[in-house]
Chains A and B, each alone.
Chain A
Amino acid sequence: MVLFKQLMTLLILSVVLAFGSNLVLPNSIPFVGEYRSISSSGEPIVPPSAELGDPPFIDLNRARFEYDLGTAIFLDSRSPEEFDCGTIPGSINIPFEYMPDGDLTEYLDSAFSGAAFDKTIINYCSGEECDLSLYMGRFLNTSGYTNVMIFFGGSREWEQAGFEVERRVKCDN
């Protein structure tokens, strides 16, 4: 009985502290996660042009998990026109092909709303025919962002899985 009381005391105290700290600490998460389980191969799509030292490639499962967790930045590297046609909801758009020249420290800092350099960034573009996410991932790595991931399946794999897509304009394709 004493043993059971001790076990429960430690557990209940942990629960109270966990809930309390999650209300107070800056990096809080929802108490109950709503993660979708996805039946996919679990293997990320990796382009032939990938090189050693590139940011890690993640599969649809991981991208969806990060989306549900809600702490990562989703970055669409395509042009604003393609971004408006359909993107993962909540993503920001930094068109790799239209980035200004020179020192982009302030530009990136502003685009990421001052996020820390170790913030998780899920970087993607259309899908397998698009290398922009790969180039952007490399660029962010060299710019000091340490937690960049490439979702090479991109918006197409996302949409084909039946996930919600944010469309700002109607497009033909």
Chain B
Amino acid sequence: MRQLIDNDYLTMLSRLLIGGMFISASFYKIIEPADFAKSIWQYHMIPGSLINLMALILPWLELLIGLALIFGFAYRGAILWANMLLGVFIIALISTIARGLDIDCGCFKAGESATAPAWDALWFDLVAMFFAVQLWIGKSSRWRFRLDLINRGCGG
């Protein structure tokens, strides 16, 4: 089991899946922050004064996490962010389902154009969490861009 968790190829697959997911989730929200603000508002979980800040910052954080996972810079930090965000998303979706709110998750698109119902998004996030946790506990360190090694003149 340990060998599987530490497998270089499984780790790379997880990085591409989670990284790709975060990158693709960020684009529309960066371009249309007002739509994303509406999606956040619909959850009724965030104080009004923080909605816009979250709508502006979260998509960029998602983009950077995705890039960091795929290219392997700020690697452990990106994995921890990914796990924390997925944890928050899962809690928010469970809360939405428990309160019977009929809203779209705002995961990839946002506002009225979003299409993923809460249950679908929850299953999707739970599967993503599996790969994100594998990245956290796995020990593979191949194919990572490490600034400290480049500074010492031996990249890779």
Instruction: Contact check, B49 vs A29: say whether CB atoms are below 8 A apart.
Output: no
CB of A9 within 8 A of chain B?
yes
Contacts of B112 in A (CB 8 A): 56, 120, 147
A37-B48 contact, Cβ under 8 Å, with A14-B61, A27-B32, A29-B55: yes
Contacts of A11 in B (CB 8 A): 61, 81
Interface residues of A in 98-136 (CB under 8 A from B): 118, 120
CB of A163 within 8 A of chain B?
no
Interface 1/0 per residue, B67-86 and A, CB below 8 Å: 01000001111101100000
Instruction: Contact check, A15 vs B49: say whether CB atoms are below 8 A apart.
Output: no
In the assembled complex, how far is the CB of residue B27 from the closest CB belonging to chain A, in whole angstroms?
12
Residue from B31, B32, B38, B81 in contact with A10 in the complex, judged by beta carbons closer than 8 Å = B81
Residue from A9, A18, A29 in contact with B60 in the complex, judged by beta carbons closer than 8 Å = A18
CB of B51 within 8 A of chain A?
yes
Contacts of B64 in A (CB 8 A): 10, 13-14, 17
Instruction: Contact check, B61 vs A10: say whether CB atoms are below 8 A apart.
Output: yes
CB of A28 within 8 A of chain B?
yes
A interface, by DSSP: helix, strand, loop or mixed? helix
Residue from A10, A28, A32, A65 in contact with B33 in the complex, judged by beta carbons closer than 8 Å = A28
Instruction: Contact check, A7 vs B56: say whether CB atoms are below 8 A apart.
Output: no
Interface residues of A in 17-34 (CB under 8 A from B): 17-19, 21-22, 25, 27-34
Contacts across chains A and B counted by CB atoms under 8 Å: 93
CB of A49 within 8 A of chain B?
no
Q: How large is the interface on A (under 10, 10 to 19, 20 to 34, 35 or more residues)?
A: 35 or more
Instruction: Contact check, A9 vs B32: say whether CB atoms are below 8 A apart.
Output: no
In the assembled complex, how far is the CB of residue A160 from the closest CB belonging to chain B, in whole angstroms?
21
Q: Which residue of A lies closest to B40 (CB)?
A: A33
A32-B49 contact, Cβ under 8 Å, with A10-B61, A13-B64, A25-B31: yes
Contacts of B81 in A (CB 8 A): 7, 10-11
Residue from A17, A29, A31, A36 in contact with B34 in the complex, judged by beta carbons closer than 8 Å = A29
Contacts of A170 in B (CB 8 A): none
Q: Point out residues on A near B: beta carbons under 8 Å.
A: 2-3, 5-7, 9-11, 13-15, 17-19, 21-22, 25, 27-37, 56, 65-66, 68-69, 71, 118, 120, 147
Q: Point out residues on B near A: beta carbons under 8 Å.
A: 30-34, 37-38, 41, 48-49, 51-53, 55-61, 64-65, 68, 74-78, 80-81, 111-113
Known contacts A19-B56, A35-B41; 17 additional CB pairs below 8 A are A6-B74, A7-B80, A9-B77, A10-B64, A15-B57, A15-B60, A17-B64, A29-B37, A29-B55, A29-B56, A31-B52, A31-B56, A32-B49, A33-B49, A33-B52, A35-B48, A37-B48
